[in-house]
Amino acid sequence: MFKKTTLKNGLRIITIPQKNTQAVTALVLVGTGSKYETKKNNGISHFLEHMYFKGTKKRSTPLAVVETLDKVGGIYNAFTSEDCTGYFTKVKSSHLDLALDWISDIYLNSLLPKKEIEKERGVIIEEINMYLDMPMLYVGELWKKILYGDQPAGWKVIGTKENVANITRQQIFDYMKSQYVASNTIICLAGKFPNLNIINKVKNYFSKIHTADFKDKVPVIEKQNNPQILIYPKKTDQTHLTLGVRAYNLLHPKRFAQEVLGVILGGMMSSRLFIEIREKSGLAYYVKTNTHSDPDTGYLVTQAGIDNKNVEKVISIILREYKKISQKKIPTKELKKAKECIKGKTALELESSDAQAAFYAGQELLENKILTPEEIFEKIDKVSTNDILKVAKDIFRSDRLNLAVIGPLRDKNKFQKLLNY
């Protein structure tokens, strides 16, 4: 069972003990990401994340930072999203103190060396180039752009090449001081660790954390009256597309029904769209439907990679399935399968300490509350065939449809006709 402790300075500590493991994960999660940025500094959250591996007073070089955990076979990484940035390490439980020393050191004492900033500009620009050369991934960036446009929610988490080339050390330092504060930070321990005095131990390692107010994000503006289409012309052997709708955010009571709906449509190999597009028609190798919910945004989207000549055919199949599920109740048997799929996958994923840490800390940061897996399963179980029908009727409307495409295509008109269904 998890335990949450909030210190006087606002720092939150979450502990999740696990008996049947030899591992322990230490995760530091801070409530800032690309939605907290401006047009001028877009990409700074991700840039700062990179710089936390470049040296502290105690570990003065990038090699010293990473070698600390390499010596004990530790796993470590970091990530940046629209709403949060995280740093974690997973080690053998006997190395708990080393893990806490390392993660607190990079979080509190990173020096942001100027020469490393200059080198890292090139690294991040190559990361941008990598995504540009991977249409299966880059089409997801176009999807966000078509939904949210020129506001933080629609900008790339990684930023632009121009910003990466021009962001200064002072900007990075100021952003760090503004956002990386006690009240905006969660420390999470999951796995095998001694319960006795564990809170004091974490508290001591993070005793020097900065205490101040942090800058909040601007509200997301969502406005759409007609289907929207974005084509990114590129010479490819395969067209990659995302087709979906605006839907419910993380705090919406219908988000669990939305999740079940997504699984029924394209969240498993026996889902409707997988069967129709891959198994029956042989039109795609990959086809999947995902639902995504943040505190202030949400969507359901189907993604596929298909032969350039079959794009319209696949779009028509996806739209047909959207319409079908919004007009007719799904069979009880199909609903049960989707629910059990979600619960089974979640249970399997939570076998590992790093997944446990992300599960609990992520909820606390984004929702300001934590549900156990069992409590979430109860909410999934309460979803009815009527709920699925109501959600589908609500979201699968022509004026909510959005299509983003990467491939050797330019003509929007043929897609526009399809989307006015």
Q: What is the pLDDT of residue 93?
A: 98
CA distances from 361 to 157, 295, 341 (A): 21, 14, 23
Q: What is the pLDDT of residue 48?
A: 98
Instruction: Return the CATH class of domain 3-205.
Output: alpha beta
Q: What is the pLDDT of residue 118?
A: 98
Annotated domain spans of the chain: 3-205, 228-419
Q: What is the pLDDT of residue 410?
A: 82
- Pair 42, 158: CB distance under 8 Å: no
Reported as half-sphere exposure (CB side, CA atoms, 13 A), residue 392 has a value of: 24
**Average pLDDT by stretches of 10, the chain with 421 residues:** 96 96 98 98 98 98 98 98 98 98 98 98 98 96 97 98 98 98 98 95 97 96 95 96 98 97 98 98 98 97 97 98 98 98 98 98 97 98 98 96 95 89 73
Q: What is the pLDDT of residue 360?
A: 98
Q: What is the pLDDT of residue 97?
A: 98
Q: What is the pLDDT of residue 421?
A: 73
Q: What is the pLDDT of residue 420?
A: 86
- Pair 13, 209: CB distance under 8 Å: no
Q: What is the pLDDT of residue 233?
A: 96
Q: What's the topology of domain 228-419?
A: Cytochrome Bc1 Complex; Chain A, domain 1 (3.30.830)
- What are the backbone angles phi and psi of residue 253, rounded to the nearest 5°? -65, -20
Q: What is the pLDDT of residue 411?
A: 85
